[in-house]
Amino acid sequence: MGRSEMFVLDLVAIAIVVFGLYFPRHRRKDMVVAYLGVNIGVLAVADALSSTGAGAGLGLGLFGVLSIIRLRSSELDQPEIAHYFVALALGLLGGLAVSPDWLTPALMAALLVGLYLGDHPRLFAGYRTQTMNLDTAFTDEAHLVSYLEELLGAHVHRVKVRKVDLINASTLVEVRYQLRPEKSATAPTRVADTTGALR
């Protein structure tokens, strides 16, 4: 497969990632330019390294350096990190010569399918993870779980207590839960602040 075909394949793949998968699901405009810029930049540099015989080692080193820089510059959630790494991987696959010819399209397709399925809104749709600041100091985990299940209308799978403040009567917890079918359309009656804590 020629270099021009590889470039076109990469551009089609990153367009699917950004405009077909990421933005319709997450609606974060600033990440669109980040994904496109990283992908095309890595594609160009990987092609230049490949054409000068620098080898895949430098390409993988570039992958690691760019990952560290990007992930330290802004807070990303886990799906955004996954999209970011796919954008990097697509650029490397498009820019480096891989043998046999069918392997690169197959790997790109595998990345797209994995991203599509793993980030699909219907996959584990009722599961949530939230950090909550409760207005009661809980020292009994069973009581805490019971309280959270009643508050959220959900089945709590895991609770990690981050802080118990006995003076100000508060508990900071990270809770992972599954909405009950009959409660999935009903929001909690308390109001959430910008950090996800309930008042």
Task: Look at residues 74, 100, 118 and tell me which one is the last residue of a structural domain.
Answer: 118
Say whether pTM exceeds 0.85. no
Q: Is residue 152 located within the same domain as residue 79? A: no
Residues spanned by the domain of 163? 124-199
For residue 163, give the 3-state DSSP assignment.
strand
Q: Is residue 68 located within the same domain as residue 156? A: no
pLDDT tens for the chain, 199 residues long, are 677 888 999 999 999 999 999 999 999 898 999 899 989 988 888 887 776 655 556 656 666 666 665 555 567 788 888 898 899 889 888 888 778 888 899 999 999 999 999 999 888 888 999 999 999 999 999 999 999 999 998 999 999 999 999 999 999 999 999 998 765 444 444 434 433 444 3
| Closest by Cα among 158, 159, 142, 82 to 115 | 82
Q: Is residue 192 located within the same domain as residue 128? A: yes
Q: Is residue 135 located within the same domain as residue 152? A: yes
Q: Is residue 168 located within the same domain as residue 78? A: no
Q: Is residue 67 located within the same domain as residue 137? A: no
Number of independent structural domains in the chain? 2
Q: Is residue 10 located within the same domain as residue 107? A: yes
Q: Is residue 91 located within the same domain as residue 106? A: yes
CA distance 116 to 123: 10
Q: Is residue 35 located within the same domain as residue 113? A: yes
